[in-house]
């Protein structure tokens, strides 16, 4: 089974916010003539990269719940403009909604075993993804999601 990463999605209030941000950044890169790819830069390089790239995803925690994931395509070491080593997590720009799973705040990213990862929303729960974000959050706060 693939190993995953989990990370807080700081600055997004909903999955829709994340999708809009991704579309905006891809469009910016397209207009600038840069490679059209989505990546997230982080400070630490995963030591278990081979396990992650064997089908793993980055699960996003939004407003205290894992709500979605993106498949990890590549993990690339870089050096930023200040000479500091960083890591780019190259992501498939497709956001897959998952069942909500409560998570406390943490810094950086963590490994997430496949057995502990929330399931993707299947056809039987597709209506949940169409529900307004505010209503989903209220239901989650009540422990109903």
Sorted by sequence, the CB contacts under 8 Å of residue 50 that are 6+ apart come out as: none
Query: For residue 84, what pLDDT band results from cuts at 50, 70 and 90?
Result: very high
pLDDT value of position 125: 57
| Segment 120-137 mean pLDDT | 67
pLDDT digits (tens, 9 = 90+) for 110-119: 999 999 999 9
Query: For residue 135, what pLDDT band results from cuts at 50, 70 and 90?
Result: confident
Structure tokens at 110: 């963590």
As a whole number of angstroms, the distance between CA 139 and CA 131 comes to 11
- Res 75 pLDDT > 90: yes
pLDDT value of position 2: 86
> How much is the pTM?
0.85
Cα–Cα–Cα angle for 19, 22, 25, rounded to 5 degrees: 150
3-state secondary structure 6-48: EEECCCCCCHHHHHHHHHHHHHHHHHCCCCCCEEEEECCCCCC
| Segment 5-28 mean pLDDT | 96
Whole-number average pLDDT of the chain: 90
Provide φ and ψ at 26, rounded to 5°: -65, -40
Residues of the chain with pLDDT > 90: what percent?
80
Query: For residue 57, what pLDDT band results from cuts at 50, 70 and 90?
Result: very high
Measured in Å, how far apart are the chain's first and last C-alpha atoms?
A: 26
pLDDT value of position 123: 55
As a whole number of angstroms, the distance between CA 144 and CA 136 comes to 9
pLDDT value of position 128: 62
pLDDT value of position 133: 65
């Amino acid at each position: 089974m693939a190993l995953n990463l989990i990370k807080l999605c700081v600055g997004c209030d909903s999955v829709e916010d994340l999708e809009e941000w991704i579309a905006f950044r891809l469009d910016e890169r397209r207009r600038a003539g840069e490679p059209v790819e989505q990546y997230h830069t982080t400070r630490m390089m995963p030591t278990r990269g081979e396990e992650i790239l064997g089908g793993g995803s980055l699960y996003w925690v939004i407003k205290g719940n894992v709500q979605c994931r993106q498949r990890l395509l590549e993990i690339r070491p870089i050096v930023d403009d200040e000479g500091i080593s960083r890591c780019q997590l190259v992501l498939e720009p497709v956001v897959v909604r998952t069942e909500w799973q409560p998570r406390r705040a943490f810094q950086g990213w963590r490994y997430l075993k496949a057995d502990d990862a929330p399931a993707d929303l299947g056809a039987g729960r597709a209506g949940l993804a169409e529900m307004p974000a505010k209503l989903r959050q209220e239901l989650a706060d009540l422990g109903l999601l």
